[in-house]
Amino acid sequence: MSKHRFVRAAIVAAALFTAAPGVTAEAGSHDVDLVGGVAPVVRTDHLLSPLRYSGAMPAFGVLWTGEGERASNRVGLDLVLGGLRSGPDWTYTRDGETIEAGPTGTTLVDLRYAHGRRVVDGAWTVQVGGTFVTHLEQHYYPYGFTGVSNYLGTLTLSPWAEASVDLGKRQHFAVEAWVPLLAWVARSPYAVHDDEYLWHNRDTNPVFIAARYIGAGSLASPLSYQSGHLRATWSLDVSDHLAVLVAGRLDALHLTDPSPLTELQFGTNAGLRGSF
Amino acid sequence: MRTSSILALTLTAILGTGCLAAPSDSPVDNFEAIWQEFDEHYGGFDDRGIDWEDSYERWRPQLDEGSSEDELWGVLTGMLAELDDGHVKLVAPGREFFDANEVYRDKIDDDSFDLDIVREHYLSDERVELWGDELWYVWGEVAPGVAYVWFNWIDDNTYVIDEIVDSGVEHIIVDLRHNGGGAYTYALHGFGRVTAEDVDVFRSRSRNGPAHDDWDEWWTTTMPARGETFDGALTVLTDAWSMSATERLIMALQEVEGVVTVGVPSNGSQATMIGREAPNRWTYSLAVQEVEGMDGSRYEGAGIPVDIEIRNDPDVLAGGTDEVLEAALAL
């Protein structure tokens, strides 16, 4: 299958997955979680620098969950925006003018769909299924005097599992995890800015640019791409339709092609859950 | 196994790979890291006649573990200056910016162009666009039916060509002197009005691996025709400060029939640059490509030749006469 056909197939699959809740969800509850918090991120991307960049950035998330008798669907969007640093900001001079070398500009986006079926229904409830995740990263490294943008986009299919338990009448705890088995990876080239990359930036429409980036990717083998993801959520019902929640996340990513990248993203969020 | 144990094991495994460990940071380590990055990414060794192994042999022994930061700076700037590449720069905390290109570093012929002279002595009906506090472009008439446009850098400001063409002028003088670059992809679209059909304008290949002969496939860039074609005369002014993406635009315009270039050859730094960091957080840049015209001509290092070579005498220029512009007006 050509890479462009794969991308089209993946996008269609994502659209079908996203449409699926209306078709497959059985009568049951619908929850919407709105959370905000802080996401500490640590990454070393040898495409850009041998240094370790880190920082705690504002994070936002929204998650819809449709729970049926035996199955569930969920669609979520997570956004992290901010800057990472390899150390304190510093200054240099150019023709007598003092110039500051500042932090990177970093944007991390996750859009995911998961479908699960209940396989254990006791004190603990366990669901297993699959998830399709689109993960996008855009980074701007200022290097003091010149800026370099780069990107990473992955479309992954993963087995997915969630275990949840009621901690009394009003408290609940859930943990979910997934490890991608199939990944389409689009990443800046070895030379970071080659002419093909520059041509992809030939207009100012970010949707077209992102589509060109993703289209330029390829299937990644498990030897060149590894990631793992964990989510944990504690919630406290304050009424029949409202709960407060605290959520934690851990995302680990490692790529070797065309240069090593290691990234850890932690997250601590708090927010509200509306049930209807 | 408890969740916390699994988390701890996962983190230990990942961190234990060393992937997130900070690199070592002695003067020798920093020299080695920068030399190695150039070795694995720089695209101009052949075009600029550089034997990088020889550079290592000559410069590396001047440092040892006891070397000072000043000595490291001196060795690195000395080695990088030999590249004379407009895309090679080095900055460090508290230090003056270093440019490996002699023209830019020593400001050679910086007084051979003065926009104020053009604006005071030649330009009428001037139209100006600002980018923040800076001039973005200036255009107006320099003679009946002759438009002059100057860009501070090239970007989508080049779309002003629409306004100029639609004004009905017969001759456009595009002044790219002292223009250090920008985004040529926008500029090629902006100047799409000067060609009746899409035209392949240059090709490039980029390093895709650590060996000096690791290149990706040649990538041909096309200037797309756009809108009603300008059928008048087009003259391009260049100098040794015309660099980077601006040189790509010059190469592109030279592929258009009838375009004349006037001035002195360009800087000779067309390859795209990227930034890098040393373990000590000094930052630097390097060019990662080979670029050639559609006939195979290489201008990296040498600069793009002009059709009519003429250099402004600074004293004459100070007196209000831009000899390069005068030569263009005489066409």
Ranges in chain A, pLDDT < 70: 1-27, 202-204
Task: Establish if A91 touches chain B: CB-CB under 8 angstroms.
Answer: yes
The whole-number pLDDT of residue B20 equals: 61
Q: How far apart are the CA of B33 and the nearest CA of chain A, in angstroms? A: 9
User: Could you report the average pLDDT of every consecutive run of 10 residues in chain B (331 residues)?
Assistant: 43 48 83 97 97 98 95 98 97 95 97 97 95 95 97 95 96 98 93 96 96 95 94 97 97 96 98 93 95 96 97 96 97 93
pTM of the model: 0.85
Between B52-59 and B27-41, two packed helices, what is the crossing angle to 10 degrees? 170
Q: What is the DSSP string of A91-122?
A: EEEETTEEEEE---EEEEEEEEEEEEEEEEES
A142: cis peptide before it, omega within 30°? no
Task: Establish if B248 touches chain A: CB-CB under 8 angstroms.
Answer: no
B91 closest CB neighbour out of A87, A144, A260: A144
A193 closest CB neighbour out of B186, B274, B277: B274
Task: Establish if B296 touches chain A: CB-CB under 8 angstroms.
Answer: no
The whole-number pLDDT of residue A212 equals: 82
Decide if the complex's ipTM is over 0.85: no
In a 10 Å sphere around its CB, with 0-12 CB exposed, 13-18 middle and 19+ buried, how is residue A215 labelled? middle
Task: Establish if B210 touches chain A: CB-CB under 8 angstroms.
Answer: no
Sheet holding B199-206, edge to edge: B219-223, B199-206, B289-293
The whole-number pLDDT of residue A193 equals: 82
CA distance B70 to B179: 32
Task: Establish if B24 touches chain A: CB-CB under 8 angstroms.
Answer: no
Q: How big is the A-B interface in CB pairs under 8 Å? A: 143
Selected residues 130-189 of chain A with any CB under 8 Å from a CB in chain B: 141-148, 175, 189
Burial track A51-66 (b if 16+ CB lie within 10 A, e otherwise): bbbbbbbebbbebebb
Q: Within a 13 Å sphere around the CA of A235, how many CA atoms are in the beta-carbon half? A: 26
A143 closest CB neighbour out of B189, B272, B275: B275
Q: Where are chain A's structural domains? A: 3-275
Task: Establish if B36 touches chain A: CB-CB under 8 angstroms.
Answer: no
Q: Which of B202, B281, B289 to mutate to test the interface with A (most CBs of A within 10 A)?
A: B281
- Using the beta-carbon criterion (under 8 Å), do A194 and B94 form an inter-chain contact? no
Q: Is A24 helix (H, G, I), strand (E, B) or coil?
A: helix
The whole-number pLDDT of residue A196 equals: 81
- Using the beta-carbon criterion (under 8 Å), do A252 and B206 form an inter-chain contact? no
CA distance B291 to B295: 11
CA distance A89 to B292: 39
- Using the beta-carbon criterion (under 8 Å), do A93 and B219 form an inter-chain contact? no
Q: What DSSP state is assigned to residue A25?
A: P
A44 closest CB neighbour out of B19, B189, B275: B19
Asked if A83 and A106 touch (Cβ cutoff 8 Å), the reply is yes
The whole-number pLDDT of residue B22 equals: 66
CA distance B85 to B99: 8
Count how many residues are written for chain A. 276
DSSP β-ladder status, B283-287 and B273-277: antiparallel
Please report residues of B whose CB lies closer than 8 A to that of A48.
275-277
Please report residues of B whose CB lies closer than 8 A to that of A87.
281
Task: Establish if A276 touches chain B: CB-CB under 8 angstroms.
Answer: no
Task: Establish if B281 touches chain A: CB-CB under 8 angstroms.
Answer: yes
Please report residues of A whose CB lies closer than 8 A to that of B95.
92-93
**CATH node for A3-275:** 2.40.128.100
The whole-number pLDDT of residue B274 equals: 93
The whole-number pLDDT of residue A20 equals: 44
- Using the beta-carbon criterion (under 8 Å), do A190 and B207 form an inter-chain contact? yes
Between B69-81 and B27-41, two packed helices, what is the crossing angle to 10 degrees? 20
CA distance A14 to A76: 12
Question: Which are the contacts of B106, defined by CB distance < 8 A and separation ≥ 6?
Answer: none
Q: Look at the block and give the residue holding tokens 């720089």.
A: B42
